[in-house]
Amino acid sequence: MPVPVILDCDPGHDDAFNILLAAAHPAVELLALTTVAGNQTVEKTTLNARRVCEVAGIRGVPIAAGRDRPLRGGPDREPRVAADIHGGSGLDGPGFGEGEPDVPQDPRDALTLIRDTLLTHPAPVTLVPTGPLSNIATFLLAHPELTPRIERIVLMGGSTGRGNTTPAAEFNILCDPEAADIVFSSGLPITMIGLNATHQARATPEVVARIAALGTPLARLCVQLLTYFAGTYREVYGFDTPPLHDPLTVAHLIDPSLISLVRAAVSVELTGTHTRGATVVDLHGVTGRPANADVGMEVDVPGFWELVIDAVRVLGEPAEGPPDTP
């Protein structure tokens, strides 16, 4: 049986590839997409989710907009965006144009869509957040009665080591540390795929060439996304190739052998002078705190790219029509 999934995302170049992977692979049943402010404003991340679905021919998956800011307001806690990495649109590179995508936005808000999906799907559903955890935390607070309908949470965020937005904090967690704290303290089964894992999954020139060789319009768009992403990662971090963080979540669901996991206590730093938003991962059990997460460690990088490239291939192929009649 495929794993039923709700993707909660902020597309975002790497979020876009995660949508493709979830929609393409038969091991996953993509039930809904919800969006959150993160890489760009929630208006832009929602538009981007619709654009990705349109270009990839993903129809019938409801897309609803969620929170436009973190849980705690206040003058120094305005939503932060990652325009330096993802551009002014949140999905710079391909030039989508000004037109409205023909994939609609669901009239419900993200919380209602998550609630309705959990209530109507016959089996518990896996939540896959790849942006700030504002929607998920708000949902857990609003609907504690529905936690039995959640199978587990597999998230991209945090790190066992250094951050990427401050020296200590990773972007998704830093955007809304209080939300992350609520999620990590929820008691739900959590798998954390952080920077220590995702930085292994680099879109090398060989990977980009394999995607280009597919030769479809979707493949060309993916190459444009990766080329833009490579440019900003080079400029901002001096990386020669960019890490494609978010699709490691769905890749883990498709094939758990692709990422090794260790159980550990993960705490979110809420107050540190220089470390707010850091995930403090007790890999050696020195704090005595009970483990609350499975933490991604080593990635089978070639296996990961096989999945991603195959998703681009499958979605890029023309849909099968009725057989020709003589």
Active-site amino acid positions: 245
- CA separation for the pair 307, 25 (Å, rounded): 8
Tell me which amino acid residue 318 is.
Answer: P
Q: Between 245 and 313, whose beta carbon lies closer to Ca ion? A: 245
Tokens 């996991």 identify what position?
261
CB of 313 to ligand BDR, least distance (A): 23
Q: Between 131 and 242, whose beta carbon lies closer to Ca ion? A: 131
Nearest Cα to Cα of residue 297 among 245, 258, 261, 249: 261
Q: Are 26 and 20 in contact (CB under 8 A)?
A: no
- CA separation for the pair 149, 145 (Å, rounded): 9
CB of 11 to ligand BDR, least distance (A): 8
Q: Between 90 and 101, whose beta carbon lies closer to ligand BDR? A: 90
Half-sphere exposure at residue 100, Cβ-oriented, CA atoms within 13 angstroms:
4
What's the gap between Cα 268 and its chain centre? 19
Q: Look at residue 282 and give the partner it binds from Ca ion, ligand BDR, none, a contact being a CB closer than 5 to 8 Å depending on partner kind.
A: none
Alpha helix (H) residue ranges in the chain: 13-24, 42-56, 83-86, 110-120, 134-142, 171-175, 177-184, 195-198, 205-212, 217-237, 247-254, 301-316
- The CB-nearest residue to ligand BDR is 171
Q: Between 17 and 139, whose beta carbon lies closer to ligand BDR? A: 17
Q: Between 56 and 128, whose beta carbon lies closer to ligand BDR? A: 128
Q: Look at residue 82 and give the partner it binds from ligand BDR, Ca ion, none, a contact being a CB closer than 5 to 8 Å depending on partner kind.
A: ligand BDR
- CA separation for the pair 276, 137 (Å, rounded): 18
Binding site for Ca ion (CB under 5 A): 10, 12, 15, 130-131, 246
CB of 89 to ligand BDR, least distance (A): 14
CB of 79 to ligand BDR, least distance (A): 13
CB of 321 to ligand BDR, least distance (A): 35
Binding site for ligand BDR (CB under 6 A): 12, 14-15, 39, 82, 85, 130-131, 156, 164, 170-172, 245-246
Q: Are 42 and 64 in contact (CB under 8 A)?
A: no
